[in-house]
Structure formats: structure tokens, C-alpha cells
Structure 1
Amino acid sequence: MDLEASMRKSVEATQRTFNTIRTGRANPSLLDRISVEYYGAETQLKALATLSTPDSQTIQIQPFDRGSLALIEKAISMSDLGITCNNDGKVIRINIPPLTEDRRKDLCKLAAKYAEEGKVALRNIRRDGIDKVKKQEKDGELSEDQSRDEQDKIQKLTDRFIAEVEKHLAEKEADILKV
């Protein structure tokens, strides 16, 4: 069933979005959304440099081309992450400060917003599937009972994936709130 594959992709996209939210620890996936203007083209940061975490509070960025160092630093400082870079001419180090209580609450709200967007995407996939089943019923390809059974299956599938998004949200909130 292609609905299940679509829903799985939607959940995975929501999970990737969660990974871009900061927690108390350094994590290279924080920088996944950062793109750098490199030779006139928007390029993902991870395509321009090696990202690593030498310790729990530091992200280290080692560019493949030293000429891109200033461009990477500018892209990070202009992002909405609110973090500053230390550039020593060879690598960029980002110190991840501990989160304040207010910032943790804001990040939990952001995670909830991303979860809601994921659930909306799942409900849109459900709507499309149910519309397709209703059209098949109207065209005489399915009986009324078969149509109802298919719609129930689609609803159960949607409920399962929404529960998965909720589980990922709870894990992310626990991660954010952990001091």
C-alpha cells in the first residue's frame, strides 16, 4: 500500500526536523538546515565540511576548502540558531552553551509545532487515500462494505503513525528538558 510508505516518509521527515532542534548537548544535526552560498550556489553545510563533536559542548567544522571558512561562519551567524563561532583559520568551533529554562520551554513549543505539522501531513495523506476509496466506490469498483473497510484500514494506519509522531515528540521533549 503506497499510503503506508507515504506516511512513513512523513514521520521520517518530522524526525529529521526534530533533530535540528537544539538540546543541551552538541549535535552536528543542529546544522542540517544551514546552507552556505558557495560560488553562487546554495550548498548544504555538510557538503562543504566535516562536522564532528570533540566533546559534549562543542561542534567542530572542518571545511574541505579553507576559502569557504568565512562563508560558513557567516551562514551560521545569520541562522536562527543563536550560536556564535570561533574561527582559528583552519576549523570553526561552536560552543553550545547550556540552555536556560525559558529557552528549553521555547524549544519544546517548537518541537510541538513540528509534530503538529507532521500530523497535518499524515491527515492530508489519509484524506487523499479516503477520497481515492470513495471515488472507487462511486465508480462501482468497490462495494459500500469494501469501501468502509478500506476507510477503516486507512484510519487505523493514520492513528498508528500519529502515535509514532507523538512518541518521537515525547522523546525530544524529554531530551530538551534533561539538564
Structure 2
Amino acid sequence: MIADVMADAGSRMDRAVEAAKEDFATVRTGRANPQLFQKVMIDYYGSPTPLAQLASINSPEARTLLVTPYDKSSLKSIEQAIRDIPNLGANPTNDGNLVRITMPELTEERRKEYVKLVRGKGEDAKVHVRGIRRKAKDDLDKLASDIGEDELARAEKELDALTRAHVDAIDEALKRKEAELLEV
């Protein structure tokens, strides 16, 4: 029973760390990266659809991205969704066949804004991991009548160590992303 709670908490925390890393990848560094648009949702015939399912995204130059939709009728909604992305600073242009996105040069001020944004995403991920810990702790407390106090205390220490390891993994990914953002 304890092992099940711990395994579930561990796998959920692993997914939270991976989600944080994917979130960090959506924040732009010096080069235009197609991953910036992985989480962009497009209103496609009334249902939100990920951009990656509607178009191919290429980076022919360091600061340019080309979005080529599979269905040309979605060009306007793709262009609008990209324009609505907060903190991007890019102005997409639609030539009837594809959407061209030229990313602005990263200034020192812009880099610092991105660092703040990444720190916020990192803090959100850590809060999520702590929420998983809280739920696992509640599950362990429900098992308290079936197990001994020693086993419960040991499981809680193990849960704390698991939480600490995942928070440290998020901090490490955050540190790498900050260094990448501040690199000129």
C-alpha cells in the first residue's frame, strides 16, 4: 500500500519535472526555435488544436521561423494565435501560403524579462510538485490505521526525500535555462 502511494507520487512528480522542462523550452533564447510554438493552440473549426498538428514549423535562419499549414484555410487563425502569444515580441506575416515570423533581437532588458518568466514557470512547477506531495501525504495518513507509526514516519521521510529530489531537478533545469538566456 505504501509502495503504491510512493510509486504514484514519484511518477507524477517525474511528469511534473518533464512538463517544467518542456515549459522552459518554450521560452526563447538567442535562436528562433520551433519549440517556442509547441504549446500554441489554434482555433481550428471550433476546437483548440496544437499548432504542430496543423502545420510544419521550420527555422531557415537564426531569427526567422516559417509556419507552413497543411490546410491553407487555417492561415488566418494561425497568424492570430501567434500574434496573441504574450512576451513574444514577434510580428507574424501571412503571404497566403505560409506565416513568416521574424523574432526581434534579444536585448539585455528582454533577456532579464525572460529570466523572470522562466523563474515564474519554475516556481509553478515546484508548487505542483509540492501539491503532489501533499496528496501523497494525505493518502499515507489514510493508511495510518492499517500500518504502524514507524512505517508511516519512514514513508513520510521517503516522500520528503522524493519531493526534495524533484524540486532540485527543477532548480537545476531552471539554472541551465537562466544561463542559456543570459548568454550573449
TM-score, scaled to structure 2: 0.90
Structure 1 residue identity aligned to 2:72: R
2:126 and 2:172 map into 1 onto residues whose CA distance is 12
- Matching of residue 39 in structure 1 with residue 69 in structure 2: no
CA deviation map 1:96-134 (0-9, x unaligned): 222111111111111111111111111111111122222
Name the stretch that deviates more: 7-16 or 71-80.
Answer: 71-80
Map 1:112-127 to 2 at 5 A: 112-127=119-134
Partner of 1:160: 165
CA deviation map 1:24-75 (0-9, x unaligned): 2111111123222222222221111001111221111111012221221122
Partner of 1:130: 137
Map 1:4-153 to 2 at 5 A: 4-80=10-86, 81-137=88-144, 139=145, 141-153=146-158
Name the stretch that deviates more: 83-92 or 147-156.
Answer: 83-92
1:112 and 1:163 map into 2 onto residues whose CA distance is 14
Structure 2 residue identity aligned to 1:168: A
DSSP-derived class of the 1:23 partner: coil
Aligned residue-pair number: 177
What 5-or-longer segments of structure 1 have no aligned partner? Answer: none
Structure 1 residue identity aligned to 2:85: S
Root-mean-square deviation (CA), in Å? 1.3
What 5-or-longer segments of structure 2 have no aligned partner? Answer: 1-6
TM-score, scaled to structure 1: 0.93
- Matching of residue 3 in structure 1 with residue 5 in structure 2: no
Check the 8 A contact 2:89/2:104 in 1, yes or no: no
Q: Which runs of 4+ in 1 moved over 6 A?
A: none
